[in-house]
Amino acid sequence: MPDNKPDNKIDLAIVVNGQPTVVSANKNAPLRTVISRALEQTGNAGQPPDSWELRDSAGATLPLDQKISDFNFPADVRLFLNLKAGVGGAIS
């Protein structure tokens, strides 16, 4: 079947706290724009997008202000969005 997506669109597979989803994104937008969409699609509420971090499959944290097209993601790319640690590490 022909791919009818406009040239500036890309589908990104994102695993949110372990739950996979596919986000349709604009290649010219910064990477951070996929976070709120991925959270919405997986029903994750209660923490703002800044409380999450996005990594590639090797575990490297991705710079969120970079344009999506700059990453040259392959078609089968899978990204991992996880809640940051937040507070913790001290008991009173």
Residues binding other proteins (CB under 8 A): 15-20, 44-47, 51, 55, 57-59, 78, 80, 82-83, 85-92
* Token pair 């989803």: residue: 21
| Of 1 and 85, CB closest to other proteins | 85
Element spanning 39, H or E: helix 33-41
Q: How far is the CB of 54 from other proteins (least distance, A)?
A: 11
| Of 6 and 86, CB closest to other proteins | 86
Q: Which sign does the torsion angle of CA 4, 9, 14, 19 carry?
A: negative
What is the C-alpha to C-alpha distance for residues 38 and 75, in angstroms, rounded to an integer? 18
| Of 14 and 25, CB closest to other proteins | 14
